[in-house]
Chains A and B, each alone.
Chain A
Amino acid sequence: SQELEQSPQSLIVQEGKNLTINCTSSKTLYGLYWYKQKYGEGLIFLMMLQKGGEEKSHEKITAKLDEKKQQSSLHITASQPSHAGIYLCGADGGFGYFGNEKLTFGTGTRLTIIP
């Protein structure tokens, strides 16, 4: 079965600083989702990556999938208090382009922003 490891497990960053969260898979990634979760609440969709070398950005958040499709990174530029929360990566269990929408998640990275 596929396993995802996220690092670091927790991160404390001063407001305005940049940061990176990593997600490493034990198998090839065919669809990699990034979500943000406020403590005890639902998951907010950030981005989905599928192609090796793909990079997507939304506001100050950029996610990349490496060429070998076994690692993804999430980079936040000029962090703000609104970025605080838990970031989760989820891998689609399918093997094709369209996937099977059965996600395996990492344990998450807890991000704290210090004013």
Chain B
Amino acid sequence: DAGVTQSPTHLIKTRGQQVTLRCSPKSGHDTVSWYQQALGQGPQFIFQYYEEEERQRGNFPDRFSGHQFPNYSSELNVNALLLGDSALYLCASSLRGLAGLTGELFFGEGSRLTVL
């Protein structure tokens, strides 16, 4: 049973460009959350998708947007890239509202974005 999978694993972009990152949740999970982890810091919550809608959002600008598909997979889009967007982007999946009961809140390996 595959866990949370993310692609691509690494990518390099230049300032002003746009990037799309992808995430497939663990089988049986329906909720996807995205986090940004800068070097030496803990992950920071970007937003969460459930039933193809954004349900919660952290303190990130509108340049960060996302989408969830009917098969529960998700995309994170970042427009007008800045140098400060360089980070590891992590995807987490869960079964909506039940992580507190099951303890199942699992992360993928992440996508390492470098902005030059």
CB closest residue in chain B, given A48: B103
Measured CA separation A108–B39 after assembly (Å): 11
B70 within 8 A of A: no
* Chain B residues closer than 8 Å to A50, beta-carbon distance: 100
Tally of contact residues, B, Cβ under 8 A: 33
Nearest CB on B from A107, distance (A): 5
CB closest residue in chain A, given B3: A42
CB closest residue in chain B, given A49: B103
Q: Is the CB of B44 within 8 A of A105?
A: yes
Measured CA separation A41–B4 after assembly (Å): 13
CB closest residue in chain B, given A92: B100
Interface SS of chain B: helix, strand, loop or mixed? mixed
* Chain A residues closer than 8 Å to B108, beta-carbon distance: 42
Q: Identify which of B11-19, B76-84, B91-99 touches chain A.
A: B91-99
CB closest residue in chain B, given A42: B109
CB closest residue in chain B, given A9: B40
Tally of contact residues, A, Cβ under 8 A: 31
CB closest residue in chain B, given A45: B106
* Chain B residues closer than 8 Å to A35, beta-carbon distance: 107
A102 within 8 A of B: yes
Chain A window 23-60, contacts with chain B (Cβ cutoff 8 Å), 1 for yes, 0 for no: 00000001101010000111111011010000000000
CB closest residue in chain B, given A31: B100
Q: Is the CB of B103 within 8 A of A41?
A: no
Q: State the B residues within 8 Å of A (CB).
A: 4, 6, 31, 33, 35, 40-45, 48, 56, 58, 88, 90, 92, 94, 96-101, 103-110, 112
Q: State the A residues within 8 Å of B (CB).
A: 4, 30-31, 33, 35, 40-45, 47-48, 50, 88, 90, 92, 94, 96-108
Known: A101-B48, A105-B44, A108-B42. 5 other contacts (CB 8 A): A33-B105, A92-B99, A101-B100, A101-B105, A102-B48
> What 9 A-B pairs are tightest by C-beta distance, nearest first?
A105-B42, A48-B103, A99-B100, A42-B109, A43-B107, A98-B100, A101-B99, A98-B97, A31-B100
